[in-house]
Amino acid sequence: MTGPLLVADDLHLAFGPTRALAGASVEVAPGEVLALLGPSGSGKSTLLHCLAGILTPDRGEVRYRGTRLDDRSDEARSRLRRNDFGFVFQFGSLVPELTALANVALPLQLTGARRRAAEEQARSWLERLGVADVAGKRPGEMSGGQGQRVAVARALIGGPRVVFADEPTGALDSLNGELVMEEFTAAARDQGSSVVLVTHETRVAAYADRSVVLRDGRLTAAPAWA
Amino acid sequence: MTGGIRGPGGRVRRARRALLTRLATRCLVTAMALPQTLLGLLEPAPRHGYDLKREYDARFGEQRPVKSAQVYATLGRLLRDGDITVVGTERVDGPDRTSYALSAEGVTHLERWLAEPEPSTAHLQSEVYVKVVLALRSGRPAEQILDAQRDAHLGVMRGLTARKRGADLPTTLACDFTLFHLEADLRWIEHTAARLHRLAEELS
Ligand SMILES: Nc1ncnc2c1ncn2[C@@H]1O[C@H](COP(=O)(O)OP(=O)(O)O)[C@@H](O)[C@H]1O
Ligand SMILES: [Mg+2]
């Protein structure tokens, strides 16, 4: 496919009196790692949720592979999130009652894979991210860095076209954060998944292929005279 | 300039060489403390000038490789000042190569330099700041200056981050040094971007 994989076109969204998005437009190319940078409250998470079809904008449209997201039924949108998208959040990406292995295997089982086959693949993803040793542990028994590596494995295992990551290293110290980013972006690039990465840290954004900056609900423009 | 008019050619040549030496050393010392760095590189074992140049370039000369002439000129000065001594001359199919070693005095100077903190370059103003002020005073969109600077910094940060992929620790830490500094610059840019309206008011 040529052209962008995902497009946000002039999105507006208000929460009551708060204008979270005020004309945000952005495109994500296939296989591209794109960082959404900006200060806290600038609308990064809201834009990510709109791009992923979790929130519907008041105005403007989101197009995934050429067709509008907001035209689809809730059912179709959650199928899309299950089949085509992966998610990593700052906290709570994992099911607390399940082991790391079961957490990573879950997306494959939800799309119909047998448990044994799913767990075999999950194990190789845990290895790839350097956390095979926590396979039998629950999220509460892992360090922050281990938990985020498991969350990355879980987001990538289904071979999603797009991974949405909201401050994935926000709870980690800077060295651990960098190691997770290194492994996350390398694995995503290897399998050709696009990544939409929300962060307020420029050193984290530097792992992307491109950065755009949000301020007050819209993207900053390139200089008019340049 | 020809030697003939000013008397014996040797004297003019010597004077010219001294001038070049001064110029060469001056421009490098500002880039990276060359004399002290050479003392440090010499400490483990005696070396000759070419060897030192190669190691300097490999470890510290990324932005600006040192010129052989600068190394030899600096070694000459260190020798004169007693920081290094000549320990031998060998000929390996080519020119003579003089090996130098660190003297006790050289060790003292090296240690003094290592122990002394570098001046903290607390520039109170940067060129970006000047541009922002001038833009605001002339009614130009100062925000775009900050945006353009941010894009440029982010581009360099992406390049450095890509270089860290699979790199050894010395390279990684050298990249990190610049990454952390650019990050600090970017924080100032964000901080200023959020206060442009007030800045414009106070300037008018
Ligand atoms: N569910 C919500 N209800 C009310 N206000 C919200 C909600 N989500 C976000 N906001 C507000 O919208 C603005 C943008 O928020 P967000 O997209 O989370 O910013 P960021 O991720 O850049 O920190 C903020 O002012 C925030 O307080
Ligand atoms: Mg957020």
Residue labelled with tokens 């070419």: B50
- d(CA B131, CA B146) in angstroms, rounded, equals 9
pLDDT (tens digit per residue) in B10-41 = 555 555 555 554 444 444 344 468 999 999 99
- d(CA B72, CA B79) in angstroms, rounded, equals 10
Burial of B114 (0-12, 13-18, 19+ CB in 10 A): exposed
pLDDT (tens digit per residue) in A80-109 = 998 999 999 988 889 999 999 999 999 999
Q: From the CA of A36, how many Å to the nearest CA of chain B?
A: 12
Contact A156, A125 (CB under 8 A): yes
A102 CA distance to ligand 1 middle (Å): 32
**Best to test chain A binding among B145, B151, B176, B197 (most A CBs inside 10 Å):** B151
- Residues of chain B with Cβ-Cβ distance to A37 below 8 Å are 154
Residue labelled with tokens 């001294």: B18
Task: For residue A21, give the DSSP letter.
Answer: E
Closest chain A residue to B142, measured at CA? A223
Angle between helices B104-115 and B34-42 (to 10 degrees): 120
Per-residue model confidence as pLDDT tens for chain B (204 residues)? 333 344 445 555 555 555 554 444 444 344 468 999 999 999 999 999 999 999 999 888 877 889 999 999 999 999 999 999 999 888 777 777 899 999 999 999 999 998 887 777 666 668 889 899 988 988 888 998 899 899 999 999 999 999 999 899 999 999 999 999 999 999 999 999 989 999 999 988
Task: List the one residue out of A57, A26, A22 whose CA is nearest residue A43.
Answer: A22
Amino acid B71: pLDDT = 95
- d(CA A63, CA B204) in angstroms, rounded, equals 45
In this prediction the pTM is 0.83
Nearest-CB residue to A202 (from B147, B164, B186)? B186
Domain boundaries, chain A: 6-220
**Both tokens assigned to B87:** 């320990």
Fold of B34-115: Arc Repressor Mutant, subunit A (1.10.10)
Amino acid found at A166: D
Percent composition of chain A: helix, strand, coil (DSSP 3-state, to 5): 35, 25, 40
> What ipTM is given for this predicted complex?
0.87
Burial B7-44 (b: 16+ CB within 10 A, else e): eeeeebeeeeeeeebeebbeebeeeeebbbbbbbbbee
Work out which ligand 1 atom sits closest to the CA atom of A42: 22
Q: What is the CATH number of domain A6-220?
A: 3.40.50.300
Nearest-CB residue to B154 (from A205, A221, A222)? A205
Amino acid found at B171: T
Amino acid A223: pLDDT = 43
* CB proximity list for B113: less than 8 A, separation 6 or greater: B33, B36, B39
